[in-house]
A and B are shown apart, each in its own frame.
Chain A
Amino acid sequence: MTDHLDPIILGHNQFIGVSHLSQEAARARVERFGRMDRVGELIRFCRESGVHGMMLSSHPKARDILAYLKAEGLADGLGLYPLIPFAQGYVRRMNAVGMTGMIKEIVQAAPLKTKASLAVQGSLGLARRDLTRLLGAFVDIEMLNFKGFDTRGVFLHDAFVDLALALQAREQLEFFSKHVRSRYGVRPGFVTMNFPLLVESFQRWGMERPLVMTTFNKAGFQMNPSREACERALDSGYADVVAMSTLAAGYLDPGSAYEYIHSLGNVPSVVVGVSTVDHARETFSLINGTVFKEKEDLGL
């Protein structure tokens, strides 16, 4: 089992119509990437530029993307970093059918093996210990989408990580960690908006030094409780960080934004959202010339 971490990971937000800049920008993305050939063109360019890591949630659109990549021969050698569960989808289901209705749906959709391990008694007669394992069901259902692909890490969505951190739900976070290691043989990752709290908690619990995707940007946007506290947590060296929101959702000038990431000195990987080939070319060259300028072996 190797823990390979790609220095540049292509983010998925642009493909699934998400923009943290504005909903207007998000709608433009839905329109642009409604055509799968545009997704393909962009991923092909990434591969040619030496970017072989891609993050993908289990958004319904992501399934289409995966099928397309396979059909077009773009999946070989492409390292996937699934981001699960697809939180927004569950929130919508919860609003539509209620919390227990949603949990019922999850249990029903789980793979047989998972269902058996849940020891489902009747429709919702879950035993106490099984409620932690429900998290395993979440993971397994979502991972069905990525079967047959080269998965290099599985990230737990920040909606769940941040809830667990605030509740100090050590058992559930450890369960996720072990489950990903044992069932999928890859490194578990955690997405968070509370990076210092995560580092402090994991250290206190004596958990394995984690892989963490979290916000790092010059503007301090979405860095809680503050940019300074996040930088101090990074300096502790107790996490391998994949920096996200490096442009503060398209708000920052890329040049100075990546200089800032480089100045941190301790960021092995950056997740980027690029929407066009020109944009990708500019971004990769900037990252290569700033964040990883001392590293010659990236081959980007």
Chain B
Amino acid sequence: MRARPEKRHQDVKKSNMETRKEASVGIVGLGKMGIAHLAILNALDGVAVRAVAEKQSMMRKGLGTIIDDVNIYSDYRVMLDREHLDAVYITSPTALHVSIASECAERNIGFFVEKPLGLSANECEALVREASERGTVTMVGYCKHFLETFRKAKEVLDSGQLGKPIYVTSHMYVSQLFSQGSGWRYKKESSGGGVLNILATHLVDILMWFFGGVESVTCSTKAHYSSEVEDFVHAYFTFGSGLAGPLDASWSMRGFRLPEIEVTVQCERGMLTVTEDFVKTFDDADERYTMLYKQDLFEGVPVYVGGAEYTREDALFVECLKTGRSPELDVAYGCRVQRVTDAMYESARTGRTVAPAGRE
């Protein structure tokens, strides 16, 4: 690793950004999400992708035929040392997230890491401390925060118009796996788990975003198609606020062409249901349902690649790089979500109700 005076480097970075008015970004891992972020960042104003690190030579060659003004590396460490980057997108398999992020933090490079932050909260704690001490700009890709319907639901719940939440039911399903899968997602050591850590972490995030910290959790998991990881998960949450209710998730559910999240909240004075497609509220006062579709809430994005939520999260991260402040979805938040999924796995293993470690 090249020695570099940290303070000076930071100053150089800041002045670079001021004169270029453009953030320099690198990407580690050219999977589905790496490619999506690469494309979006390439099209967004105020940011330029300077370098990409990818282990597989075929992907490197492929990228080389498409883009010629990006430096391509096989080893991300070499990329971090050679390039003057303001931030790195970490879109590798989950098992590598924390070690790559730590190396970025050590070099005072901001980073965006795809969800989930890591394999377990234990693994993330030191990173959270380091990023906080150094003031590193960080973000974890909990992209559902950038979908119109979920944003609206959060707004309605926070407004208090339906009163205090009492009971919440939720699920996340997709028809994805009906035979043994191959690839990193289905190996525990590279994914940290199955449908819970890979997919339903989105739902855990939404519940925590809506309702705050989790007090305790009771959880069961079941594997049918996968040999190392769970295909089904069922949990009962109790939040710090006293709100409680179940979460059910699977990637082996028929009838869900696309991943679907549904959260229904019974409140003191009404109820609310939210999915990717709509927000439905029932107000006891006027005994009426109000339906808001994603069409009602739609906002265009400067460039659309696979989902407006990815453009919005990238635009926010680029903005944060300019101001030097992390968004709410920083590593500390990512770690809090991780503690809850850890507690779910522990509960499933021991059969006991578990309190997430370090809860607030």
Question: A: which residues have CB within 8 A of B?
Answer: 17-18, 21-23, 26-27, 30, 88, 91-92, 94-101, 103, 124, 126, 128-129, 131-132, 134, 159, 162-163, 165-169, 171-172, 193-194, 197, 219-227, 229, 248-249, 251
| Size category of the binding interface on chain B | 35 or more
Q: How far is the CA of A223 from the CA of B308 in the complex (A)?
A: 11
> Contact partner of A225 among B38, B260, B300, B306, CB < 8 A?
B300
Chain B residues positioned under 8 Å from A95 (CB to CB) = 32, 176, 181, 183, 185
Give the contacting residue for A23; candidates B65, B176, B277, B298; CB below 8 A. Answer: B277
Taking a contact as CB atoms under 8 Å apart, the answer to whether B298 and A219 are in contact is yes
Q: How far is the CB of B124 from chain A (nearest CB, A)?
A: 24
A-binding segment of B107-115, B133-141, B233-241, B250-258: B250-258
B5 CB within 8 Å of chain A: no
In the complex, whether B61 has a CB less than 8 A from a CB of chain A is: yes
Give the contact stretch, choosing among B12-20, B39-47, B347-355: B39-47
Do residues A163 and B305 form an inter-chain contact, with CB atoms below 8 A? yes
Chain B 53-78: CB-based contact to A (< 8 A → 1; otherwise 0): 00010110110111100000000000
* B38 partner residues in chain A, CB cutoff 8 A: 167
Question: What would be 8 A-B contacts, judged by CB atoms less than 8 Å apart?
Answer: A91-B32, A92-B176, A97-B181, A100-B56, A131-B58, A163-B305, A226-B300, A249-B295
Quick check: A131 and B61 within 8 Å, CB to CB? yes
For residue B91, give the distance in angstroms from its CB to the closest CB of chain A.
12
Q: Does B157 sit within 8 A of A, measured CB to CB?
A: no
Whether B275 pairs with A169 at a CB distance below 8 angstroms is no
List of B residues within 8 angstroms of A17 by Cβ: 257
Q: Are A18 and B257 in contact (CB under 8 A)?
A: yes
Min C-beta distance of A217 to chain B, whole Å: 9
B323 at the interface (CB under 8 A from A): no
State the Cβ distance, A221 to closest chain B Cβ, in Å: 5
Do the beta carbons of B176 and A221 come within 8 Å of each other? no
Whether B39 pairs with A98 at a CB distance below 8 angstroms is: no
* Chain B residues, CB < 8 A from A101: 182-183
Most chain A CB neighbours (cut-off 10 Å) among B43, B177, B181, B257: B257
In the complex, the answer to whether A162 meets B182 with C-beta atoms within 8 Å is: no
Please give the distance in Å from A245's CB to the nearest CB on chain B.
Answer: 10
B160 close to chain A: CB less than 8 A: no
Taking A99-B31, A126-B58, A163-B36 as known contacts, 14 extra A-B pairs with beta carbons closer than 8 A to each other, sorted by chain A number, are: A23-B258, A98-B184, A126-B61, A128-B64, A132-B65, A134-B62, A162-B304, A163-B39, A166-B39, A167-B67, A168-B67, A194-B303, A224-B308, A251-B293
Chain B neighbourhood of A163, CB < 8 A: 35-36, 39, 305-306
Among B43, B182, B184, contact of A166 (Cβ-Cβ < 8 Å): B43
Given A128-B65, A131-B62, CB of A224 within 8 Å of CB of B183: no
Tell yes or no: B302 within 8 A of A by CB: yes
Report Cα–Cα, A172/B67, bound state, in Å. Answer: 11
Question: When the two chains form their complex, are residues A96 and B305 in contact, meaning their CB atoms are under 8 A apart?
Answer: no
- Provide the residues of chain B in CB contact with A96, threshold 8 Å: 176-177, 181-183
Tell me the complex Cα distance, A96–B277, Å. 26
Per-residue contact bits, chain B 216-252, to A (CB 8 Å; 1 contact, 0 not): 0000000000000000000000000000000000000
Closest-by-CB residue of B relative to A125 is: B58
Across-interface contacts of B301 in A (CB, < 8 A): 224-225
Which A residues touch B66, using CB under 8 A?
Answer: 167, 169, 171-172
In the complex, what distance in Å separates the CA atom of A92 from the CA atom of B293?
Answer: 27
The answer, yes or no, to whether B150 is at the interface (CB within 8 Å) is: no
A131-B65 in contact (CB<8A): yes
Do residues B65 and A193 form an inter-chain contact, with CB atoms below 8 A?
A: no
User: In the bound complex, how far is the Cα of B255 from the Cα of A166, in angstroms?
Assistant: 32
Closest 7 CB pairs of A and B: A98-B183, A166-B39, A193-B304, A251-B295, A166-B43, A22-B277, A224-B300
Query: Is there an interface contact between B40 and A94, defined as CB atoms closer than 8 Å?
Result: no
Min C-beta distance of B99 to chain A, whole Å: 21
| Bound-state Cα–Cα, A129 to B64, Å | 10
Beta-carbon contact of A26 and B181 below 8 Å: no
Q: Using an 8 Å CB-CB cutoff, how does the interface string of B171-193 with A read, 1 for contact, 0 for none?
A: 00000110001111100000000
How many angstroms between the C-alpha atoms of A251 and B297 in the bound complex?
A: 12
Asked whether A23 and B306 contact (CB < 8 A) given A171-B66, A222-B298, the answer is no
Residues of B within 8 A of A220 (CB): 298, 300
Query: Whole-angstrom distance from the CB of B241 to the nearest CB of chain A?
Result: 30
**Cβ A248 vs Cβ B295 within 8 A:** yes
